[in-house]
Structure 1
Amino acid sequence: MVAAAAAALVAVSVGVSPAVADTGPRLDVAPADLAASLTCSAGIDNATQDPVLLIPGTTLTADVNFDWNYERAFAAVGRSYCAVTLPNHGMSDIQVSAEYVVSALRTMADRAGRHVDVVGFSQGGMITRWALKFWPDTRGDVDDVIGIDPSNHGTLDAFAICATGCAPSIWQQRTGSRFLATLNAGRETYSGINYTQVYSVQDEVVVPNLPPDASSSLYTGPGRISNIAVQQICPAHVADHLMMGTIDPVAYAVVIDALDHAGPADAARIDRAVCSAPLMPGVDPVALPANELRFNSQVATSLAGAPHVAVEPPLQPYARS
């Protein structure tokens, strides 16, 4: 037993379970459901530049999160993208939701014939790391992992939310959860992948998000890492969690810097003129009130209507090995 435990510890320290083959565990979600979750713009097939996978945050569908901001901005400059909708608005077990991300990465890389860049908000900024950890083949499909206020190290807010039960994914995003302990065991990043984590120190959902130990930041592993608070670029900038994932011009500038350069984003390259911009590109100020209402309504409805569980979901067998 001592030898087996030692072998498992070594496997966790390098980020791959001893029971996992190069392609990782079998996907249990029905192929038709995986395919239906992914919607893509024109230009994905045989793409001329790396396409972007957009992953929404907890409580959100991909359209409500992105069709009025990032998708419009990318379309305006001819950048191809896909968006994946996680089951139950991202409220279900993240281990299951990660299968949708694995399928999306494989599908996009195959169709594009090149690497995929990932842009995710909140849970969507963290979940790709679970896919990369347990489905090692996906590491060769990804160039950039860009998280906007990602819940990489969880949030203290979830303790109060889960005091009388909460949705599975909220349990898993609590600071110190078994899910996050497993995700962050050993290396947090992988060689050949660039990691940009952009966050706001005023984040009221992913808490605490204060440097040098911000919950969104990454620290370990051989991947190239850039942790950037928008206040590093614009010291007086005001941006809460929901703004960061939808309309924030500084967060968008960091995302584009990462997409347009080799390696992760560099705060020094960001034009400080962005500090006076009211909105990110792609956001129609006339339609903004209606889109914010749609966004906030989905957040509230998802939080109120999602089935609650009394405890954190158990780790899948592949993650316990």
Structure 2
Amino acid sequence: MRGRLALGWLTAALVVGLAPAGSLAAGPAAAAASGPGATASRAEAGPRLSVPAAALRRAVSCSGKARRGRTPVLLVHGTGTTGKETWRLGWQQSLRAEGRAVCVVDLPRFGTGDVQDNAQYVVHALRHLQGKAGDRDVSVVALSKGMTETLLALRVWPDVARQVDDVVGLAGVMDRGSRAIAAQCAADPCVPALHQVATGSAFLRAVTRHPLPRGISYTAVSTPLDRTVTPQPGANRQRGVRPVSIDAVCPGRAARFGVGHAQVLGDAVARALVRDALARRGPASPARVPRSTCGREHFPGFDEAGFTRLAAVVAARRHATTTREPRVRSWLRR
């Protein structure tokens, strides 16, 4: 019970608790993303990156040898935390134990800023991991809004999409956005990124004009008790993506263990679905998850105590908010 309460705190902190420390000027995003563009090791097929190359390099950390073992993985975090905070709770260790090299990207401002800037960090991280992997494919596991940035990176920068095998979202925000976030941002100022993933945003309208690249297996792992990405299950249904609810594996699981939006991070079935997607051809399949997984709340190695500590840290953070979403960039309007 203590662990579930801590997870609930983090859920609130990730969305409702993104309280203002001040106000951003309404309109275009800050110029922090301006400066010389980063260059890839091969000719770019997408727009030039506007985030300074040094910032992009500092945001990526990797472990393991990407040219060996199983498919290497990039981990992309959600809103309100850092990559290191999110994935050191058991994911990095678990994936490394499977024989996978792992890279983690840290989005600036705890992922609260313009998604169009954040996606460039994902692009750079993918290019970095792909360079380490040689001619091997890589995969991506993304939490919450990290799925939005991942899909944007693949849609707009085709060179990185060509070397991606699987993309798995954990309670990810898809093309329909979230009605709950839309209602929140209509009532009170929000951080820029939440305006963008609110249902009906100009950003999402522009994104949906860019089709998902083919040849990649997409899985959207969800829980019916998600009160952040809503409505469920519709919010996670998208053409070309296989939606898989944890309750499709173990009926009644979400209610039994109280698995809401943030709780997916430590959920044993969610972890098993990621393992299945990465290990086999195509997206994850509920039928292949061992029934024995249904009796476990968390996956082996999940740091519940660390999650409790992180919940307190995240809840105390304050972020600059605005009443309007960032402008849609010219490269996304095309």
Q: State the number of aligned residues.
A: 285
**Partners in 2 of 1:300 and 1:154 — Cα distance?**
23
Corresponding residue of 2:271: 252
**Partners in 1 of 2:297 and 2:189 — Cα distance?**
38
Q: Is contact 1:106–1:141 with CA below 8 Å preserved after alignment?
A: no
**Partners in 1 of 2:247 and 2:141 — Cα distance?**
20
1:1-321 alignment, distance < 5 Å: 23-44=45-66, 46-113=67-134, 114-152=136-174, 153-162=176-185, 163-185=187-209, 187=211, 189-210=212-233, 214-220=234-240, 225-238=241-254, 239-245=259-265, 247-284=266-303, 288-289=304-305, 291-302=306-317, 305-321=318-334
**Partners in 1 of 2:329 and 2:130 — Cα distance?**
26
Tell me the TM-score normalised to structure 2 length.
Answer: 0.82
Shift of 1:22: 5.7
Tell me the TM-score normalised to structure 1 length.
Answer: 0.85
Q: Is contact 1:40–1:83 with CA below 8 Å preserved after alignment?
A: yes
Runs of at least 5 residues in structure 2 that lack an aligned partner in the other structure: 1-42
- Aligned partner of 1:279: which letter? H
Query: SS in structure 2 opposite 1:196?
Result: strand
Corresponding residue of 1:4: none
**Partners in 2 of 1:48 and 1:72 — Cα distance?**
15
Q: Cα–Cα, structure 1 residues 298 and 315, in superposed 2: closer, same or farther, change >3 Å?
A: farther
Q: Is contact 2:130–2:163 with CA below 8 Å preserved after alignment?
A: yes
Q: Deviations over 1:278-314 (max 9, x none)?
A: 2112214xxx23x122331343234xx1111120111
- Aligned partner of 1:292: which letter? F
Query: SS in structure 1 opposite 2:235?
Result: coil
**Partners in 2 of 1:161 and 1:299 — Cα distance?**
19
Q: Is contact 1:197–1:218 with CA below 8 Å preserved after alignment?
A: no
Shift of 1:126: 2.3
Runs of at least 5 residues in structure 1 that lack an aligned partner in the other structure: 1-20
Shift of 1:42: 2.0
Larger RCO: 1 or 2 (CA < 8 Å, sep 6+): 2
Corresponding residue of 1:18: none
- Aligned partner of 1:37: which letter? A
Query: SS in structure 1 opposite 2:65?
Result: coil
Query: SS in structure 1 opposite 2:100?
Result: coil
